Structure 1
Amino acid sequence: RLKALEIAPDHVHVLVEHGSQVAIHQIVKAMKGRSSRLLRQEFPHLCKLPSLWTRAYFYDTTGKVSTARIMAYINDPHHI
């Protein structure tokens, strides 16, 4: 479940709630794959590129900070 999303010129912040049976790398792969397909459909010149995304990603759990605080950070336009 997508809880928050912020797109910056050079990175993306996403807050996702998911069950323990789904691995984080599966979520990242699905998001990158779907977004790449949709972007290439809308902007055909992107089909010339071998890849739109790198394989890299960073994740952390919300155990140390409340979900509300993370959502506030993602939704704050001043941290870009």
Structure 2
Amino acid sequence: MEKIMRGVCAIQDVTLAEFNGETDHVHLLVEYPPTVQLSKLINSLKGVSSRRLRKRYPHIKTHWIGKKGHLWSPSYFAGSVGGAPIEVLKQYIEQQQAPH
């Protein structure tokens, strides 16, 4: 999943500084220019990762896909951390459990 997310970010001129998460969600620390719309970036990350993961791992449909047939929840949380030390943010994300 991290490789997929890095690829999507690279295409959109976004830097994925840190990736981690837990069983049911992921944490991404991204740096993006003001020309990138956050909602469109997240839509791309979710859409591309869902398609590629379902194609590579067909069994994912029976284990993770919700009632409406979606891998990801339609919601997301985004927080701005301008001015916070990047190392503190990376450390927080690194301490999360890796997604399975």
Where does structure 2 lack aligned partners over 5 or more consecutive residues?
1-14
Among 9, 12, 19, the residue aligned to 1:5:
19
The one-letter amino acid of 1:36's match is S
Aligned-pair CA distance for 1:36: 0.2
Mapping of residues 30-45 of structure 1, within 5 Å: 30-45=44-59
Count of equivalent residues: 77
- Shift in alpha-carbon separation, 1:7–1:63, aligned structure 2, 3 A: same
Higher relative contact order (CA 8 A, sep 6+): 2
Compared CA separation, residues 72 and 37, structure 1 to 2 (3 A): same
Deviation, structure 1 residue 77: 4.3
Task: Give the TM-score of the pair, scaled to structure 1.
Answer: 0.84
**1:18 — aligned with what?**
32
What corresponds to 1:75 in structure 2?
Answer: 94
The ranges of structure 1 where at least 4 consecutive aligned residues each deviate by more than 6 angstroms after the TM superposition are none
Deviation at 1:2, TM superposition (A): 0.6
Does the 8 Å contact 2:22/2:96 carry over to 1? no
Tell me the residue number matched to 1:56: 75
SS class of match (1:44): coil
- Secondary structure of the structure 2 residue equivalent to 1:6: strand
| CA RMSD across the alignment | 1.8
2:43 aligned residue:
29
Which blocks of at least 5 consecutive residues in structure 1 are unaligned?
Answer: none
- Alpha-carbon distance in structure 2 between the residues aligned to 1:35 and 1:2: 14
